Structure 1
Amino acid sequence: MQKINRRMMLAGGLAFPAAAGAALAPGDDDERFWSAIAAEYAPPAGVIQLENGNWGMMARPVLQAYQELVARVNRDTSFYARRGMTRDLMAARDQAAAAMGVPADEIAFTRNASEALRALILGYNRLTPGDAVLYADLDYDAMQTCMESLATQRRARVVRIALPEPATRQTLIDTYVAAMAANPRLKLILLTHLSHRTGLVVPVREIAGLARARGIDVIVDAAHSWGQLDFTLRDLDCDFVGVNGHKWLGAPLGVAFLHIRKAALDRIDRDPLNEAGGHDGIHTRVHLGTYDFAASLTVPAALAFQARIGSARRAARLRMLRDRWVTVARTIPGLDVLTPDDPTMHGAITSFRVRGITDSARNARLAKWLLDERGIFTVQRDGVAGGACVRVTPAVYTRVSDVDALAAALPGLMGFSRTI
């Protein structure tokens, strides 16, 4: 394994070791390329890991960089913190901003997307008593709770909608347009770009544009989409976004980002711990205190690793792995796939439901059967208006044989479902 030093990390100069297929280019045999990628990961032995939605595994070069940075931060403590660490953190932030396609001063580190979104939702200062805010059933639980809290904190009226199932881009747009029309005092919408529950991708840019024309602000939860889909934040054309780094970027746990456009900064209050004077930038909207600095400093290594794959190539691979098992699932009577086959409406994550089994307990038993009987790890998800489901999430290290094993297990799962 090559030695990773600070200069390489901050310059994004990380390269694959030769043994891992560094000579492979996009025109070479695709499975050889992806086998080389898979060789850079160490998933749990004895199980097919198809539950990669919780957080992403660091590739070996990224893990090595993180370990070296943990050692440095631990060794040098304040000698480093007061003599260059801030500069290195800002260089890491700048590289992340460039990858997201936004100015560096519109990005701030947070420890997770929930922290970023909490700062946006609770800091949003354009609500007056009686104004409405809106979220959907597929939004993340903690963010739903934040939106609900605006009823007491801002005396807002909270509106909850259910997204259509099955969905199309147009039915999703129509659903939000109908909600806007039905709530003339609507001021704020939470949009989840890619749902952690089902994998559904919402046409954020179109919906946000329609909201903007009505004077409605939109906060975007991009925790799962950046790094899973091929896009930049500029493509979303939204003022407020929360992004995770420890999911699909494969950075260490505790890395995420807050994005606020400069022109919209005054719509979000400062964090109370940052109220005292100083420059009024995005960094004042969140307060991290003393946190895992090594995690944020590892971002350039994670970006460099992902750059060797390429955003479009990664997204296409994840869609292919999803499509491979979904194609089989579509042929099985009584098994419903909860994301459309429209490639603009899904990434890697896709959930399925055995028709008529809508409670969490029985979906948990289905996931348990897959693990116990076939060695395939998935997870049940609830909170969907149509009922609970089983979520399948491949990753860049997932092999074709892994999703083929899931496809082969589905008929047996259907047989088991009739016994519960």
Structure 2
Amino acid sequence: MLQADLDYDSMQACFDTLKRSRGVDVVRIALPEPATHQGLIDTYEAALKVNPKIRLILLTHLSHRTGLVIPVKEIVAMARARGVDAIVDAAHSWGQLDFRPADLDADFIGFNLHKWWGAPLGVGVIYIRQARLDLIDPDSANSPPFAASSYSRVHIGTVDFAARLRHLRDLWAEELRDVKGLEILTPADPRLHGGITSFRLARRTSVQDNMAVAKRLLDEHRIFTVHRDGPASGACVRGTPALFNSAADDDALVKAIRSILP
């Protein structure tokens, strides 16, 4: 396996772990200073010529050490022609550079989303070309049968918060959308909503009306909602699921709203 001096420490540590656990040889090179586009390609090619047993290289698209951007697509093509796979670390480039994953033409790419996309810590994306999936072992924390996708190659653990909130929202909002006497204000089109959705009883557009609805839901059903004013069409009541809510909670909300319809 081949790594460079500008690769990320944790990625280098992964290679070193494989050396200890599987006995693989790890070759480390220094990238040229000053660097040129062709000079970088030549450096990796020279390392492969000197070490013909190498079958995997690590490529850091944009180095966190110096900011150097390497010509990943060209190096991947050169390595592939020699029967060598490449793992691309795009942690810093995804969000700093204008590119699409397909532009790299790599089989294995890791993206970090908390660096330059502003996502929560620990959020990232792994890309594995479908035709190469069998080369990556299923995550040891997962149980068979293993899906024919990258999901089986990583252990997801905590669910996708956004997807969970949207699911909970749909359970009550779409169930009530066509109920007579009720207005669901947020569209059903998934492109046009998140987890929050507001509603009002037909023709009950005053702040007082909607405060009263929210109060009834709390007092009679122990369901907490909030009234909101501001829309030109009138005030409304906002229902917002939390991560600890369940499908049963949505069922209770549906029944409660039905019970207060005029």
TM bracket (short chain): 0.5 to 0.7
SS in 2 for 1:189: strand
1:70-81 matched pairs, under 5 angstroms: none
* Matched pairs, number: 167
The two structures have a TM-score, normalised by structure 1, of 0.38
CA distance in 1, matches of 2:24, 2:121: 34
| Residues 1:142 and 2:10 aligned together | yes
- Note the residue ranges of structure 2 that are not aligned, 5 or more in a row: 167-190, 192-262
What's the CA shift for 1:293? 2.5
Distance change (3 Å), C-alpha of 1:296 and 1:241: farther
Pick the aligned partner of 2:88 from 206, 220, 242.
220
2:146–2:152 CA contact under 8 A, matched in 1: no
Larger Rg: 2
Q: Which residue of the partner structure matches residue 232 of structure 1?
A: 100
Q: Which residue of the partner structure matches residue 32 of structure 2?
A: 164
SS in 1 for 2:23: coil
Q: Which residue of the partner structure matches residue 242 of structure 1?
A: 110
Q: Which residue of the partner structure matches residue 221 of structure 2?
A: none
Q: Which residue of the partner structure matches residue 102 of structure 1?
A: none
CA distance in 2, matches of 1:192, 1:296: 33
| Residues 1:281 and 2:149 aligned together | yes
CA offset digits 1:261-289 (Å, max 9, x no partner): 10010110000122321533210000021
1:255–1:295 CA contact under 8 A, matched in 2: no
1:242–1:258 CA contact under 8 A, matched in 2: yes
What's the CA shift for 1:295? 9.9
Distance change (3 Å), C-alpha of 1:292 and 1:167: same
- Note the residue ranges of structure 1 that are not aligned, 5 or more in a row: 1-132, 299-303, 305-420
Distance change (3 Å), C-alpha of 1:296 and 1:239: farther
Pick the aligned partner of 1:252 from 105, 120, 136.
120
Pick the aligned partner of 1:173 from 28, 41, 46.
41
* Structure 2 letter corresponding to 1:241: I
* Structure 1 letter corresponding to 2:135: R
SS in 2 for 1:179: helix
2:138–2:146 CA contact under 8 A, matched in 1: no
CA offset digits 1:325-377 (Å, max 9, x no partner): xxxxxxxxxxxxxxxxxxxxxxxxxxxxxxxxxxxxxxxxxxxxxxxxxxxxx
CA distance in 2, matches of 1:151, 1:297: 42
CA distance in 1, matches of 2:135, 2:32: 31
Q: Which residue of the partner structure matches residue 225 of structure 2?
A: none
CA distance in 2, matches of 1:148, 1:254: 22
What's the CA shift for 1:297? 7.6
What's the CA shift for 1:250? 2.1
SS in 2 for 1:235: helix
CA offset digits 1:48-67 (Å, max 9, x no partner): xxxxxxxxxxxxxxxxxxxx
What's the CA shift for 1:290? 2.4
CA distance in 1, matches of 2:16, 2:27: 9
What's the CA shift for 1:180? 0.4
CA distance in 1, matches of 2:36, 2:163: 38
CA offset digits 1:59-84 (Å, max 9, x no partner): xxxxxxxxxxxxxxxxxxxxxxxxxx
Hey, which of these two has a bigger chunk of helix by percent? Answer: 1
* Structure 2 letter corresponding to 1:233: P
Distance change (3 Å), C-alpha of 1:182 and 1:277: same
1:125-140 matched pairs, under 5 angstroms: 133-140=1-8
Q: Which has the higher contact order (CA 8 A, sep 6+)?
A: 1
| Residues 1:205 and 2:73 aligned together | yes
Distance change (3 Å), C-alpha of 1:159 and 1:291: same
CA distance in 1, matches of 2:71, 2:165: 32
Distance change (3 Å), C-alpha of 1:252 and 1:296: farther
1:236-385 matched pairs, under 5 angstroms: 236-290=104-158, 293-294=161-162
CA offset digits 1:77-96 (Å, max 9, x no partner): xxxxxxxxxxxxxxxxxxxx
CA distance in 2, matches of 1:246, 1:184: 37
What's the CA shift for 1:196? 0.3
* Structure 2 letter corresponding to 1:229: L
CA distance in 1, matches of 2:69, 2:165: 30
CA distance in 1, matches of 2:22, 2:56: 12
Distance change (3 Å), C-alpha of 1:293 and 1:163: same
Q: Percent identity?
A: 63
* Structure 1 letter corresponding to 2:141: L
CA distance in 2, matches of 1:277, 1:239: 23
CA distance in 2, matches of 1:184, 1:135: 15
* Structure 2 letter corresponding to 1:196: H
SS in 1 for 2:57: strand
CA distance in 1, matches of 2:129, 2:151: 12
CA distance in 1, matches of 2:159, 2:27: 35
**RMSD of equivalent CA atoms:** 2.1
